Amino acid sequence: MNKDNFALIMAGGVGSRFWPVSRTEHPKQFIDFFGVGKTLIQSTYERFLRICPPENIFIVTNEIYIELIKKQLPELSDNQILAEPIMRNTAPCIAYGSMKIAELNPNATIVVAPSDHTIADQDGFVAAIDEALAAASSNDCLITLGIKPSRPDTGYGYIQYVDNTLASDPKIHKVKLFTEKPNLDLAKSFIQSGDFLWNAGIFIWSAKSINNAFRKHLPDMFDIFQAGQSVYNTIDEGGFIGDAYQQCTNISIDFAIMEKADNVYVLPTDFGWSDLGTWASIYDMAEKDYVGNAVIPSEQVIMFDSSNCMVNVPHEKLVILQGLHDYIVVESNNTLLICPRAEEQSVKKIVADVKSRFGTKFI
């Protein structure tokens, strides 16, 4: 296994679209949604054990989740857990992680990935990451993985690519355009064109290339984290980061770097990817009965004349549903949510309304 390969797993989100199961104090990356005995972050960590030495896997998260990570991934050293004092989107956490890793190994090649994705084809995922890491180690480029779209999904960002490819790998194409979540008509035109991919939010680059990109496109943030060179991987790192984050703007890596840099490439892939962004994505991946009900867990749930429902309730509770079709039924933390599947995008607004009415008690 290549000692220069590193992984930076982002695990700081709150997953509000999975409320009430996902809450601020215990968000979705720490939950076993499918009853397989592993949480999303544990599954992500295990995938990267096939790509990087275990000591080269780093988790960046909000400091309030440090104990959760230590409990779920006890094999990590304290130095492998990067604690963010406040949420500032993906650009600061990637700048922090990349510069910390560069201090350990200036020749590092890094894959950056969210902690809450699911992958059906594990071998295909590993092969794609290995291919991208090899290309990034020998080229000054920023690579992202693009997923071949199976439908005109309006919940994903899209990447348009051109015929130009890396000289060292003809599978890796130059990126022409990033597009945020489109409307349905635009998404359909993307699918028909054949040169658009879903944006998986998985990035591969050398430490040198990404740090140079920060220097060029986000110099203020580069200077903030560059000032910590002498304290990374020491006992003084935490104090420095606490001050550094107070100076950072809230900005995504896509907007700050990927949409501006001229050395961005994409590797088209197809390994059964889902970002688990909503209850619909859980429903799509879960096992279903003969009338389309996905029930997790299913021991004490009885369905009468009900179909195409997504049900997630405590395993000790007896639940009977009669005459319910195309609904989400979710209970957790003394909270019950019943919502039409077609209106699941309203969950985020529901959470905001609950917070305004009851404070953080149920959030």
For the chain, give the percent of residues with pLDDT over 90. Answer: 74
Q: How far apart are the first and last CA of the chain?
A: 42
User: What mean pLDDT comes out for the span 129-158?
Assistant: 93
**8 Å CB contact between 89 and 45:** no
Q: Into how many domains does the chain fold? A: 2
Contact 26, 336 (CB under 8 A): no
For 59-85, the pLDDT digits (tens) are: 999 999 999 999 999 999 999 999 999
Domain range holding 219? 5-274
pLDDT in tens, 184-202: 889 999 998 889 999 999 9
Q: What is the pLDDT of residue 333?
A: 85
Structure tokens at 179: 């597009």
Regarding whether 303 and 229 lie in a shared domain, the answer is no
pLDDT (tens digit per residue) in 17-48: 888 988 888 899 999 988 888 999 999 999 99
Residues 90 and 13 placed together within one structural domain of the fold? yes
Is cis: bond before 20, omega within 30 of 0? Answer: yes
For residues 327 and 212, membership in a common domain is answered with no
Q: How far is C-alpha 342 from the chain's CA centre? A: 24
Closest CA to 41 of 110, 92, 114: 114
Is the same domain home to 294 and 163? no
Q: What is the DSSP letter of 2?
A: -
pLDDT digits (tens, 9 = 90+) for 264-278: 999 999 999 988 878
* Entry pTM: 0.92
Burial zone of 350 (CB within 10 Å; 0-12 exposed, 13-18 middle, 19+ buried) = middle
Quick one: 184 and 310 in the same domain?
no
CA angle, 54 as apex, 48 and 59 as ends, to 5°? 70
Q: What is the CATH number for 34?
A: 3.90.550.10
- Which of 254, 274, 294 is the C-terminal boundary of a domain? 274
Residues 334 and 210 in one domain: no
Give the whole-angstrom CA distance, residue 221 versus residue 55: 27
Question: Of 250, 274, 298, which closes a domain?
Answer: 274
Please give the Cα distance from 201 to 6 (Å, whole number).
Answer: 17
**pLDDT: which is higher, 92 or 183:** 92
pLDDT at position 15 over 80 = no
Q: Are both 84 and 207 inside the same structural domain?
A: yes
Residue 43 counted as domain residue: yes
Is 363 among the domain residues?
no
Residue 242 lies in a domain: yes
| Helical H segments across 139-252, by residue range | 184-193, 207-217, 219-226, 237-246
Q: How confident is the model at residue 346 (pLDDT cuts 50, 70, 90)?
A: confident
Q: Does 40 share its domain with 139?
A: yes
Using the 3D structure, point to which of 274, 307, 339 is the last residue of a domain.
274
Which letter does DSSP use for residue 13 in this model?
Answer: -
Same domain as 351, residue 224: no
